[in-house]
Amino acid sequence: MNETAMMKKESIPPEATRQLRSILPEVDILENEDEILLYADLPGVLSDNLSVHIDNGKLTLTGARLLNAEGSATWEEFSDVEYRRVFSVPQSIDASTISAELIEGVLLLHLPKSAAAKPKKIEIKVA
């Protein structure tokens, strides 16, 4: 191989062939009279790399843990990953008032129930 061919080959950047490994985050779902609470374990995910979408009765959580590792890996078990999970949401949820908070790698979603879905006590009148 001549020197010109080597120089051309080295000047071509390597292709990015590595894809994010996809993981289902572990979740706990709790329900009370006012809301459904969803806790999702997303270690290492920053709020900038996290999205929560609700559309057509489907709630989609997506988050990426991106490490800024320097150097070449000789052993790698802890790498960049994408967390993704999709849930069906009952129609009794008021989608306009859903809120989310990310605290120390745990996403907490508050899914408030609409007024019509909350339990009501019926008053009994005596005649």
Please give the pLDDT value at position 13.
Answer: 52
Integer angstrom CA distances of residue 113 from 36, 42, 90: 7, 25, 9
Parent domain of 27 = 18-115
Give residue-wise pLDDT tens across range 43-62: 999 999 999 999 999 999 99
The CATH number of the domain holding residue 46 is: 2.60.40.790
For the chain, which residues score pLDDT lower than 70? 1-18, 117
- The answer to whether the Cα torsion of 7, 8, 10, 13 is positive or negative is positive
Could you report the per-residue pLDDT of 98-112, keeping only the tens digit for each?
A: 999 999 999 999 999
SS3 40: strand
Closest CA to 114 of 91, 90, 92, 95: 92
Domain membership flag for residue 126:
no
Say if 90 falls within a structural domain: yes
Tally of domains in the chain = 1
